[in-house]
Structure 1
């Protein structure tokens, strides 16, 4: 990217919204130094005061909800009602940590031979966040709310097609009263990430993105002995057993696959359905998907918008076409027009087809039938990814019995996989490592420091070696 002008483009209209000049290497270094200087003061601010600022950030988000949602829709094409919901969810994560952080960061007392021993949770320093475009506010806030409240400062490297969102997020923290330098959006490309990791102020990195980007950042962080958290892709399965509540499963599967125009790592991309019910379930699914309103993302009735860039739609089209060439059948959809790709259902999908093996980042659902529980588990596990799975059955005891056999970061029973501030979020295998959200999330970027106190140092003290 170097110093080339970066344009923010509306993917629906093709209009250039705003142009940006990327920061120079020298400007980035100055920003990192300022973040470290801010950290030295920020870590001393009482947790209760940090929580007050986070509560204020939630209020700012809600007071500016319409404006911020419009920015999301303009930059990456998300239907406006879903953009509004994204802002509301960001306010929720702020409120959650504003209430829970004091107890989550409180020292943990541990009984040992010492007179007193405990673990305290101290911030690491400045954390770099490398974030994607598909949920341009939520991905950042689910990182920033716990990370800042733990006492760290943050530098955001946002995807280059959503820099307006990055600027808006920084303005939210500024309006909420956060000190200068605690959170900064850096207008830089991926080519400057490694140099940032070289900076002594940057102690860790959190990345949400592709497997390739995650591997590169993990290598760079590992070679510098700096912590990394990776939230990467997913190829989640929706497993519908023959005893499921089919009407409820149908509605949930549609939402799981097609919200955000299918551009989500946790979307249910593979539908595994029991052969006994497959014909009727898929027929009903096709009818419902054909009825989804596509069009202008600014129309409140639109459910399927455009993909964030035309090249993403072309990539999805190629995966679709190769799967058809290998024997999959088109139940509906399959056509592309610029950045728009019709909501599509493929049946007869088998391992070896891109629609089964690869992450499809758009409104395409791949249907595979199974005969029994063992075959369902084999198909489910036949993936390099391990982010999450949804099981649909009335027999919840059976579903819970299957949970230990499933290599995923999350198992949702009769519900779509989703992120919730109260629950840890993250994957295994090629879906990454580390956990965001919940108490685990706020403790990802802290020093869990052991403190061991002996009041008397007499030689007969049982804790003395």
Structure 2
């Protein structure tokens, strides 16, 4: 039987090893999920919510353990790792808070002699495929509402973060969730693709790369099932002439470098009005130089390693290519002694003199690098922001709310921020456009993608 190995980016050691599920184990999990879902969907919503809240509490109680495991599995600095546990609690709690309202029958105007309404029914068995970069946050977006809506869930996590799937299931099991309703499977890519084709699977929630999303669509083709795809991003920020400069610098740089830049909604390109450009660059460079690149288990580290050495070398190649094309690097990599080619440790970099002929401004980097480009006005900034195959989030920094709103209405993105970035508000729909995917999680709209409408049309007077 094949095995998965989680190699820690901290020191290259083997951190977790697990057997991949066999064909018999996959078939058994599917059968259990189908059977359990039939009873789970008939469980009162209040009871499902109560179990969900107990699971949230059980998960939160493990914060220290979960943070340490995250640190070792994917390289998040230990000083920040617990934040993901708290984010999980925030999102899961909100989806529980709104479940009764979001899943309530939809009333239509009264008509004499008839009873008419629309009910939201669970889809059946949902397959959630989660990535390593925010393994709990990306998973909970779909898992919690899917369960509360009456679906059974199979969770497949990245081979880099296998413990995350196990810990989530453990929390729900401790909360009293019936056996079979929520299970995890450690799978190969080939087995994952086959699982999508299984008749029992009625929904797929995938977070990952654009090629991974294309795989999901190919595997599900002709099955007429729903799929939610959160894919890549090359998210822009625009700093207008009237922005609060210090706030814009602090917020965009944090948005670009948090989690070593390994965030689908992180800031990957910044456009600054020419009147603020020089001051912005000066302050941004000073801020980036304050980062401490180091082992994730060191509490002084503010910039950890990337998940793998080849991911870091990919970003290095983007930077080298941009420099060859005329960009200017403002950070001396030698000042970050750990950052060496062939290792996951990568010095942060801030580039100017960039343009959209460079890969670093158009291709997802997923690392600690950001390009800053000077713009003349709103129209030039808007054209550059929209000049991308991606459209997950975008950020505008301005004191003029009305003008920012008018600009935001023209930005091609699933979420547009004003004076902030890189945050998911669970009350708002999390979605993307273009190659950033389709579908939606979170908010009341997220429940619509995990249920199907069923109309009831009763004639009561004969």
TM-score (norm 1): 0.95
Distance (Å, rounded) in 1 between the aligned partners of 2:350 and 2:44: 53
Q: Which digits, 9 at most, give the CA deviation of each residue in 1:281-326, with x for residues without a partner?
A: 1111000111012212122332210011111111111111112122
User: Who is 1:437 aligned against?
Assistant: 442
User: Who is 2:184 aligned against?
Assistant: 185
Aligned residue runs from structure 1 range 63-212, under 5 A: 63-111=61-109, 113=111, 115-212=114-211
The structural deviation recorded for 1:401 is 1.2
CA contact (8 A) 2:194 2:219 kept: no
Distance (Å, rounded) in 1 between the aligned partners of 2:174 and 2:263: 29
CA contact (8 A) 1:411 1:417 kept: no
Q: SS of the residue aligned with 1:303?
A: coil
The structural deviation recorded for 1:18 is 2.4
Q: Which digits, 9 at most, give the CA deviation of each residue in 1:101-158, with x for residues without a partner?
A: 0111010101164622111111010001111100111111111111110000111111
Q: SS of the residue aligned with 1:161?
A: coil
Alignment partner of 1:355 out of 353, 360, 371: 360
Q: SS of the residue aligned with 1:205?
A: strand
Matching of residue 244 in structure 1 with residue 249 in structure 2 = no
User: Who is 1:300 aligned against?
Assistant: 299
The structural deviation recorded for 1:206 is 0.7
CA RMSD of aligned residues (A): 1.3
User: Who is 2:397 aligned against?
Assistant: 392
Q: SS of the residue aligned with 1:332?
A: coil
Distance (Å, rounded) in 1 between the aligned partners of 2:106 and 2:3: 50
Which shifted more, 190-199 or 229-238?
Answer: 190-199
Aligned residue runs from structure 1 range 238-387, under 5 A: 238-334=237-333, 336-337=339-340, 338-387=343-392
Q: SS of the residue aligned with 2:428?
A: coil
Distance (Å, rounded) in 1 between the aligned partners of 2:326 and 2:15: 42
CA contact (8 A) 1:334 1:342 kept: yes
Q: Which digits, 9 at most, give the CA deviation of each residue in 1:263-297, with x for residues without a partner?
A: 00000110111122111111110001110122121
Distance (Å, rounded) in 1 between the aligned partners of 2:281 and 2:413: 25
Distance (Å, rounded) in 1 between the aligned partners of 2:165 and 2:185: 8
Q: Which digits, 9 at most, give the CA deviation of each residue in 1:395-422, with x for residues without a partner?
A: 1111011122111101101111311211
Distance (Å, rounded) in 2 between the aligned partners of 1:395 and 1:103: 35
The structural deviation recorded for 1:205 is 0.5
Q: Which digits, 9 at most, give the CA deviation of each residue in 1:216-250, with x for residues without a partner?
A: 10122132211111001111101001110001111
Distance (Å, rounded) in 2 between the aligned partners of 1:31 and 1:334: 49
TM-score (norm 2): 0.96
Distance (Å, rounded) in 2 between the aligned partners of 1:20 and 1:71: 15
User: Who is 1:37 aligned against?
Assistant: 35
CA contact (8 A) 2:328 2:351 kept: yes
Distance (Å, rounded) in 2 between the aligned partners of 1:394 and 1:119: 43
Alignment partner of 2:424 out of 419, 427, 435: 419
Distance (Å, rounded) in 1 between the aligned partners of 2:92 and 2:379: 42
Count of residues paired in the alignment = 455
Which shifted more, 314-323 or 67-76?
Answer: 314-323
Distance (Å, rounded) in 2 between the aligned partners of 1:288 and 1:419: 24
The structural deviation recorded for 1:447 is 1.1
User: Who is 2:406 aligned against?
Assistant: 401
CA contact (8 A) 2:95 2:442 kept: no
CA contact (8 A) 1:320 1:334 kept: no
CA contact (8 A) 2:226 2:449 kept: no
Give the 4+ runs in structure 1 shifted more than 4 A: none
CA contact (8 A) 2:58 2:174 kept: yes
Distance (Å, rounded) in 2 between the aligned partners of 1:309 and 1:434: 29
Distance (Å, rounded) in 1 between the aligned partners of 2:313 and 2:125: 38
User: Who is 1:24 aligned against?
Assistant: 22
